[in-house]
Amino acid sequence: MGFVLIVDFGGQYAHLIARRIRELGVYSELLSASSDLETILDFAGRSQGVVLSGGPLSVTEGRHDEIAKSLLRLGKPLLGICYGHQLLAKVLGGSVGRSPAPEFGPTKVELSPDELFEGIPAKVTVWMSHNDAVLEAPPGAKVLARTRGSPVAAMRYGAHWSVQWHPEVSHTQYGLQMYDNWLRAIGARRDWRPENMIEELTEMVRREIGGSLAVSAVSGGVDSTVASLIVKRAIGERLVPILIDHGLHPAGEPELSIALLENVGLKPLVIKAEEEFFSALKGIREPEEKRRAFGRLYARLLEDQAERLGAEFLVQGTIYPDVIESGGRVGASVIKTHHNVAGMPKQLRFKVVEPLKWFYKDEVRAIGRKLGVPEEILRRQPVPGPALAVRVEGEVTRERVELVRRADAIVREEIEGAGIGGLWQYFAVLTSSKATGVKGDERAYGHVIAIRAVESVDAMTASIARLPWEVLERIAARITGEVPGVTRVVYDITSKPPATVEWE
Ligand code: GLN
């Protein structure tokens, strides 16, 4: 199988590089730069090429020179991105220092003709995010692009290339084309199809679980459904799907999820635990603390069931991006704790099985499709683990959850009713702000609801949805009219980054 290794220096977009390369039909894996040099060289030796990712450090600290030098000696073709670009330039004898004008976000760049830029116009907008820059190219390197903040924004050195920008983010024009060109230049085999992995995954799970029993936490979302189906293929009725009814679901849930799950042969055991969740969340205002409190109780309830049933394993629908954002890898900073990864206590009474841990959302969908999961499930918008608990700013109370649930239902109805498709997520948030209003000639001082609607292909980056004004106006009118105590509705116009999709 074709294989590209990505050495991860802790860059936020490192996984996105892997995703792009897989999208182009080549299997890729990440290895943290803090792994043993021996392991890195072993993986690199089996690869067809190595990408050096971005990262938060400065190459002037010299922490990764040894890795870069060893990889150069190994002779595999390298592609440096951002920090990786700076690192290559440094160890090859160029100079790297503080950029004369650090660049963040869209940046115009002019490209010199090169194999790497084939089929790409000479002037494109790329996504930058850096403080340092390559100030002087190494001797023997050809400079392929310059910007105001990056005197050497791209270079070629023999069979190696590197760029200061992030071709993996969708905001870089022709970014995918660049990876495509690189894969062609290094002659990588394009034989990666996630849906062909089903047999292998099933076999892995069968070996892992052996003759034991497993429970799976299902929500009716894509990931937990597909993960459970794979485990079901592996161990049949020895899998017990469990749905925890925490009372924080959006309107119409969990009934709809239960029906969808039954349809695909995953009839869940439903555990009602509303009371427990509200009391566990009582008094907590801090978002990360909320996620942890939710995660702790969720884990405990599952453990109790696992114990009662005599199950040794817990199946979770963890996917790659969950691992990234929880700071699962050394060097990446923790952005948000996901309840199914870092939010769970470290010491669990069962072993966790995560068959989708190395797949991206679109790959999970491809696997699901092959397994016969209906589009209705595959296209569902993601709901965070703690559900509406993280869509209520400040304390989570029944009243506040009910408020946001009603507002959220209106947002869904209006957007779906208007036939607006292709959105990644759309929902309402109950903010902790209060605002003055006038209702029936009387002063009203009430809640502020924020509407969030975004487009994204992978949740790593997202842009705001340009909803028609009529739809937004109708949403505002209905929420202020139908949800008691709301005096104002605002629309969140922030992309990710810098904002995350969820508010908490
Ligand atoms: N930390 C380095 C800089 O600021 C690299 C940044 C990156 O890889 N995104 O220039």
Whether the predicted pLDDT of 243 surpasses 90? yes
pLDDT at 287: 93
- Kindly give the distance from the C-alpha atom of residue 406 to the centroid of ligand 1, in angstroms, as a whole number: 43
Atom of ligand 1 lying closest to residue 55 CA: 8
Among 187-196, 257-266, 313-322, 338-347, where is mean pLDDT lowest? 338-347
Mean pLDDT of the chain: 91
Closest CA to 352 of 344, 361, 360, 364: 344
Q: Write down the catalytic residue from 15, 166, 338, 447.
A: 166
With a cut of 60, say whether residue 328 has pLDDT above it: no
Q: Which residues contact 209 (CB under 8 A, 6 or more apart)?
A: 231, 234, 235, 238, 312, 313, 353
pLDDT band (50, 70, 90) for residue 357 = confident
Q: Does 214 lie in the same domain as 334?
A: yes
Token pair, residue 163, equals: 């760029």
Residue 344 lies in a domain: yes
Report the pLDDT value the prediction gives residue 338, as an integer from 0 to 100: 44
Give yes or no for a contact between 34 and 62, defined as CB atoms under 8 angstroms apart.
no
Rounded to the nearest whole angstrom, what is the distance from the C-alpha of residue 438 to the centroid of ligand 1? 49
Is residue 82 annotated as part of the catalytic site, yes or no? yes
Residue 327 has pLDDT above 80, yes or no: no
Structure tokens at 149: 């903040």
Q: Which atom of ligand 1 is nearest to the CA of 84?
A: 8
What percentage of residues in the chain have a pLDDT greater than 90?
77
Which residue's CA is the closest to the ligand 1 atom numbered 5?
A: 83
Q: Does residue 502 form part of some domain?
A: no
pLDDT single digits (tens) 116-166: 999 999 999 999 999 999 999 999 999 999 999 999 999 999 999 999 999
C-beta neighbour count of 274 within 10 angstroms: 15
Residue of 132, 163, 169, 461 with the most ligand 1 atoms within 8 Å of its CB, for mutation: 132
Buried/exposed code over 409-424 (b: 16+ C-beta within 10 A; e: otherwise)? bbbbebbeeeeeeeeb
323 found inside a domain: yes
Ligand 1 site, CB within 6 A: 11, 54-58, 82-83, 129-132
Q: Are residues 124 and 29 in the same domain?
A: yes
CA of 53 to the centre of ligand 1 (A): 10
Q: Quick: pLDDT tens for 103-122.
A: 998 999 999 999 999 999 99
Contact assessment for residue 145 and residue 156, using Cβ atoms and an 8 Å cutoff: no
279/397 same-domain check:
no
Ligand 1 atom nearest to CA at 11: 8
Total domain count for the chain?
3
Last residue of a domain, one of 378, 412, 444: 378
Query: 170 and 62, same structural domain?
Result: yes
Strand ranges (DSSP E) for 331-379? Answer: 351-353
Q: How far apart (Å, rounded) are the C-alpha atoms in residues 219 and 254?
A: 8
Q: In angstroms, what is the span from residue 171 Cα to ligand 1's centroid?
A: 17
Q: How far is the CA of 132 from the centre of ligand 1 (A)?
A: 6
Is 215 in the same domain as 271? Answer: yes
Q: Is residue 503 part of a domain?
A: no
User: In CATH, what number is assigned to the domain containing residue 454?
Assistant: 3.30.300.10
Ligand 1 atom, smallest distance to 53 CA: 8
| Residue-number span of the structural domain to which 427 is assigned | 391-491
- Gap between the Cα atoms of 95 and 101, Å rounded: 16
* Over residues 486-499, mean pLDDT: 94
d(C-alpha 300, C-alpha 185), whole Å? 51
Q: Is residue 367 part of a domain?
A: yes
Confidence band for 376, pLDDT divided at 50, 70 and 90 = confident
Among protein residues, the one whose CA lies closest to atom 6 of ligand 1: 130
Q: Which of 378, 399, 421 is at the close of a domain? A: 378
Quickly list DSSP for 85-105. HHHHHHHTT-EEEEEEEEEEE
- Confirm whether 482 is a catalytic residue: no
- Name the residue of 7, 59, 82 whose CB sits within 8 Å of the most ligand 1 atoms, as the mutation to test its pocket: 82
Query: Whole-angstrom Cα distance, residue 281 to residue 293?
Result: 6
- Same structural domain for residues 178 and 77? yes
Query: How many whole angstroms from 502 Cα to the centroid of ligand 1?
Result: 25
Q: Would you say residue 497 lies in a domain?
A: no
Alpha carbons 168 and 172: distance in angstroms, whole number: 7
Non-local CB neighbours of 297 within 8 Å, separated by 6+ positions? 273, 276, 277, 280
pLDDT digits (tens, 9 = 90+) for 82-92: 999 999 999 99
Identify the H or E element spanning 451.
strand 442-455
**345, 378, 411 - which closes a domain:** 378
Q: Is the pTM of this model over 0.85?
A: no
Tens of pLDDT, residue by residue over 231-242, are: 999 999 999 999
The listed range with the strongest mean pLDDT (96-100, 170-174, 382-386) is 96-100
Examine residue 500 and state whether it is found in any structural domain, yes or no.
Answer: no
Within-domain flag for 501: no
Tokens at residue 65, please? Answer: 């020179």
Specify whether 176 is located in the same domain as 230: no
Q: State yes or no: cis peptide before 121, omega within 30 of 0.
A: no
Asked if residue 400 has pLDDT above 70, the reply is yes
Does 356 share its domain with 425? Answer: no
Instruction: State mean pLDDT over 263-270.
Output: 96
pLDDT for residue 341 is more than 60: no
On whether both 161 and 39 belong to a single domain, the answer is: yes
CA–CA distance from 286 to each of 395, 398, 498 (Å)? 8, 17, 20
Q: Which atom of ligand 1 is nearest to the CA of 57?
A: 1
Is residue 335 predicted with pLDDT exceeding 70?
no
Distance 285 CA to ligand 1 centre (A): 33
Atom of ligand 1 nearest to the CA of 56: 1
Catalytic annotation on 166? Answer: yes
Q: Pick the residue whose CA is nearest to atom 8 on ligand 1.
A: 54
Atom of ligand 1 nearest to the CA of 54: 8
Confidence of residue 171 (pLDDT cuts 50, 70, 90): confident
Q: Distance between CA atoms of 421 and 197, rounded to whole angstroms?
A: 30
SS3 318: coil
Ligand 1 centroid to residue 59 C-alpha, Å = 9
Residues 68 and 155 in one domain: yes
Ligand 1: residue of 13, 86, 88 to mutate (most ligand atoms within 8 A of CB) is 86
Same domain, 171 and 49: yes
Query: Ligand 1 center to residue 57 CA distance, Å?
Result: 7
Kindly name the residue from 15, 130, 160, 168 that is annotated as catalytic. 168
Mean pLDDT of the 164-185 span: 96
- Same domain? For 424 and 453 the reply is yes
Q: How do 351-353 and 95-111 pair as beta strands?
A: unpaired
Q: How confident is the model at residue 497 (pLDDT cuts 50, 70, 90)?
A: confident
Cβ-contact 239, 211 below 8 angstroms: no
